[in-house]
Structure 1
């Protein structure tokens, strides 16, 4: 399925499976992630981005929000690769306290990050976190991923190397 930024907001099959998965917070040792069963609407995404940045001139067209952590930080696809399908876009996290970063280079790498016991919040805030592989999320990744399994730490580092100025670019949008 070749989705672009102008297409509807239906979840890719792999992300729909993530939305049905169980995430164990495990008193702070697990994954703090609450996936949505649908993308936020264009209006909700624009409102969120404007509030997050304090910039009323922005729209949310470059993002597809698909989940949050317990504090309200959001996980989203970011159209950082113009013209490429949604599943090939990077996954980013923008936290409730202004923290942000690239989590994975695409949906399939994101599945491996989850399988390694790391959610979007953990990927951005806790780089040295020890892996906590999750059997159910590993099985989900094995069913859907088209990228090879790698440790979350490596996937996150690769994505950040590809998009090294993401956080600074977001800071530049803030008012």
Structure 2
């Protein structure tokens, strides 16, 4: 699936319109001070959101570039974040993420507390995929494990995906980066 890049609040609102269920995912990158620190992009105190992917239906997705150093970013980010604060706290929209704790820490760093209803597919996988005596660990429920099990498809490694760069160093308009 290719994610279509979007650049305005209107495009985001049009895509999400009145969708009752929205999947989302953050791409993050380390702040300048932490660029050489391993895994800094996973810490909301050391990094920032480079972009957000949204999907409202199978085979459909958009990508909102926020802080890419290459290519075009969304316009009117202040207004977009105000609107997103309302979106992530909207009780009439079910928000879905794979590892909601990760996305939540980045929202919380911006003063946004994601509100129910939400669904965390990694937590669901931990509960569903277990034996009689133990739950799967968080590491056992990552997409790199689940996708091959269920779809017989191998996902590329992180380094194959970004080629040694951080997400904000990738061009969000490049077709290679939108798949």
Q: TM-score per shorter chain, which class?
A: under 0.3
Higher strand share: 2
TM-score (norm 1): 0.26
- Identify which of structures 1 and 2 has the higher relative contact order when contacts are C-alpha pairs closer than 8 Å and 6+ apart: 2
TM-score (norm 2): 0.26
